[in-house]
Each structure stands twice: as C-alpha cells, then as structure tokens.
Amino acid sequence: MITPTTTTILSEIEARMGNIHISNGYSVDVKKVKLGQLEPFKGYDLPAINVWPSTLNVEMTTYEDSKKTLPIFIEIHDSTRDEPFSTVAERLALNVLYAINRSTTAPAVDDDESNCLGGIVDDVVFNGFDYEIGNGQKPFCAALVRFDIVYFSDKNII
C-alpha cells in the first residue's frame, strides 16, 4: 500500500510537535498533539497542539514534475497566566518554530536545526501567526502558526 507524501509530512510534524517539553528547553510541556481535532481541548489537556493541513496546491514545473505547496496551520493552546495574552501567545508560537526545525532524535532548542522536516520536503516557509484568546471555565490563550510546506514530486503523486 502506498503512503501519500502528505501523510508522511503530517506524521513528521506531529512527532516534532510532541517533543515540546521543558526538558528540551521549551517554555511548556505539551501534553497532547492531534491532527485535525474538531473537539476543543479540555483544561487538563493543556498545553496542547492541533495540526491542520489545508488545500494542497499543485503547480506544474516540467512534464514529469510538479511543485506542491501544502499550507499547514498549527494551533498551540495553553491556559493563561499572570502575563499578557500576547506574551504567552508569542512564546507558544516560538515553541512551534523551534520544534518544526528540530529532528525527533535531537529535539532540544539548542540542538542543530533539522530543516525541511529532515529532508522530506524542499522548504518549510513560516508565514506568521495569529493570536487566539478564548473564554470558558478558564480563559485560554493560543497561537495559530502558519506554514507552507513545499515539495516537488511526480505530477501524479500527492
């Protein structure tokens, strides 16, 4: 059975996000990482990450080759602290930026970078992030971090 490249990409991102722990030099210990979870996280799940792929864009480059761009949205949620929401959200976004550029075998923030998801893709483009603030039983704060994952493959491969 063949595995779509997009599945491989999402699995690698999920694994890298799972390495966000204080022991690796990050500011939080992520308890849960999900792919496309529709249910909101509960307070005991936080900090937590939700990874969302979007529409795969295909651009023909040659007869046999095509450039694929997969937008990825990574939501990282945490409960609030005695700090401004923006400060917490910025720190959360920074955790994601470091983690996406560290391998699963060397995940610490001071480890060497492992760009392009360890060579699975040709580029990981950071497109910024949005602040998210929610309310409920306890206020939460999040960052929605946006990336474009770029890779080249046969025109008939996703």
Angle at 28 between CA 23 and CA 32, to 5 degrees: 100
Residue 27 has pLDDT above 60, yes or no: yes
Residue 134 has pLDDT above 80, yes or no: no
Q: Can you tell me whether residue 132 is helix, strand or coil?
A: strand
User: What's the whole-number mean pLDDT along residues 120-142?
Assistant: 86
Q: What is the CATH number of the domain that holds 12?
A: 3.30.70.1700
* pLDDT tens string 32-88: 999 998 887 887 899 999 999 999 999 998 778 899 999 999 999 998 767 888 899
Residue 145 is predicted with a pLDDT of 98
Residue 23 has pLDDT above 90, yes or no: yes
Range of the domain at 101: 5-154
**How many whole angstroms separate alpha carbon 59 and alpha carbon 119?**
20
Residue 38 is predicted with a pLDDT of 86
Residue 44 is predicted with a pLDDT of 84
Q: What is the pTM of this model?
A: 0.93
Cα distances (angstroms) measured from residue 100 to each of 35, 56, 65, 118, 123: 15, 19, 26, 10, 12
Residue 148 has pLDDT above 60, yes or no: yes
Q: What is the mean pLDDT of the chain?
A: 92
Closest CA to 3 of 158, 120, 152: 158
Q: Read off φ and ψ for residue 98, nearest 5 degrees.
A: -65, -45
- Please count the structural domains in the chain: 1
